[in-house]
């Protein structure tokens, strides 16, 4: 967290609502900042958000308002950054590791035939080079595909993993979290992408991110919880995202979830939101996937 003292000398009062300014982060713990890596955004209700791209720390604070005057999610973030212990368990942001299976390996040569068929079939090819950055692996003792969940995205801190079972086995997958990180989505992020696509599963997320270049959020289901909503707010606040596309599975639960997510996002996010109805990306051929126009 960025201490408030690091922000007290900045001309925040002169900023208009919706205005963002960049400053040098004095006393940045990651080293001297001379490139104006500290971003400060003024929101409504005298709420400011600060984030340093040098040390990857942030802060949220309000001046002269009651917490109830901010939105629910922003209120939770505000109280978290100010050190109050009021967050529900699923919103805890402490970074802690969780142990992956002891025999977890990312060597695709060690993957059995069913994993190769699952990932690299003629219909849903996921190139080994495409998925390498995601650190997908295999556990021989479990005979499961292991998909780690990292927080923050791109870090080496594993806070959970999804184990995918053989086709035909029930359940299809088992998700394990560190107790402090229940409900974390999987985010495959691109710093220059202006589009964020919401999907149900990590295989679809990897295909869209790796093959189309869009940032993706795998909700690991059809429910948009507060943790995922916070990640989306972060993306639309600090990244160049201006378009959110909801692409759930093309079945009744997926369609119903799409409309619920759409209505929940329309209020708090500063981006256009749309629903894309089609065969889910995991099941599309490369040719069909590359022919998809989301915006």
More confident residue, 195 or 156: 195
Overall pTM surpassing 0.85 (yes/no)? no
**Alpha carbons 52 and 40: distance in angstroms, whole number:** 9
What is the mean pLDDT of the segment spanning 66-82?
45
% of the chain at pLDDT higher than 70: 73
Q: What pLDDT, on the 0 to 100 scale, is given for residue 146?
A: 92
Each domain of the chain, given as residue ranges in start order, spans: 4-87, 108-290
pLDDT over 80 at 132, yes or no: no
Q: What is the pLDDT of residues 286-295, one digit of tens each?
A: 667 666 666 6
Q: What pLDDT, on the 0 to 100 scale, is given for residue 139?
A: 93
Q: Which H or E element spans position 197?
A: strand 195-199
Q: What pLDDT, on the 0 to 100 scale, is given for residue 97?
A: 54
pLDDT over 60 at 77, yes or no: no
pLDDT over 60 at 67, yes or no: no
Which of 105, 89, 123, 94 shows the shortest CA–CA distance to 225?
Answer: 89
> In this predicted structure, which of 181-190, 219-228, 248-257 has the lowest mean pLDDT?
181-190
- CATH fold of 108-290, please? Dna Topoisomerase Vi A Subunit; Chain: A, domain 2 (3.40.1360)
pLDDT over 90 at 178, yes or no: no
**pLDDT-derived band at 125, boundaries 50, 70, 90:** low
pLDDT over 50 at 140, yes or no: yes
Classify 274 as helix, strand or coil. Answer: strand
What's the mean per-residue pLDDT of the chain?
A: 76
pLDDT over 50 at 181, yes or no: yes
Q: What pLDDT, on the 0 to 100 scale, is given for residue 271?
A: 85
More confident residue, 98 or 287: 98
> In this predicted structure, which of 3-12, 93-102, 183-192 has the lowest mean pLDDT?
93-102
Q: What is the pLDDT of residues 263-276, one digit of tens each?
A: 988 877 878 899 98
**Alpha carbons 49 and 62: distance in angstroms, whole number:** 9
Inter-axis angle of helices 226-238 and 72-81, nearest 10: 80
Complete edge-to-edge strand list for the sheet that includes strand 215-218: 186-188, 215-218, 195-199, 243-246, 272-275
**pLDDT-derived band at 210, boundaries 50, 70, 90:** confident
Q: Which H or E element spans position 290?
A: helix 286-290
**Alpha carbons 78 and 48: distance in angstroms, whole number:** 9
Q: What pLDDT, on the 0 to 100 scale, is given for residue 38?
A: 83
């Amino acid at each position: 967290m960025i201490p408030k003292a690091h922000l007290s000398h900045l001309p925040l009062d002169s900023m208009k609502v919706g205005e963002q300014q960049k400053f040098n982060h004095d006393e940045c713990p990651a080293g001297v900042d001379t490139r104006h890596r500290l971003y400060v955004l003024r929101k409504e209700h005298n709420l400011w958000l600060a984030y340093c791209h040098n040390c990857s720390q942030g802060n949220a604070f309000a001046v002269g308002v009651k917490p109830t005057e901010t939105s629910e999610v922003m209120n939770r973030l505000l109280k978290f950054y100010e050190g109050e212990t009021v967050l529900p368990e699923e919103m805890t942001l402490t970074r802690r590791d969780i142990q992956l299976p002891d025999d977890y390996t990312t060597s695709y040569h060690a993957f059995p035939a069913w994993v190769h068929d699952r990932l690299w079939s003629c219909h849903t090819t996921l190139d080994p080079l495409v998925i390498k950055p995601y650190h997908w692996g295999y556990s021989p003792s479990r005979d499961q595909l292991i998909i780690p969940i990292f927080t923050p995205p791109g870090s080496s801190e594993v806070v959970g993993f999804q184990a995918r079972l053989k086709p035909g086995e029930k359940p299809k997958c088992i998700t394990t979290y560190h107790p402090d990180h229940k409900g974390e989505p999987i985010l495959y992020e691109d710093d220059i992408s202006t589009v964020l696509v919401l999907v149900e599963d990590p295989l679809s997320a990897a295909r869209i991110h790796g093959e189309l270049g869009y940032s993706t959020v795998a909700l690991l289901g059809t429910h948009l919880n507060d943790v995922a909503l916070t990640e989306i707010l972060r993306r639309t606040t600090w990244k160049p995202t201006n378009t959110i596309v909801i692409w759930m599975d093309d079945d009744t639960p997926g369609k119903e979830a799409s409309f619920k997510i759409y209505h929940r996002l329309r209020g708090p996010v500063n981006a256009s939101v749309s629903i894309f109805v089609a065969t889910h990306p995991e099941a599309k051929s490369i040719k069909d996937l590359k022919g998809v126009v989301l915006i």
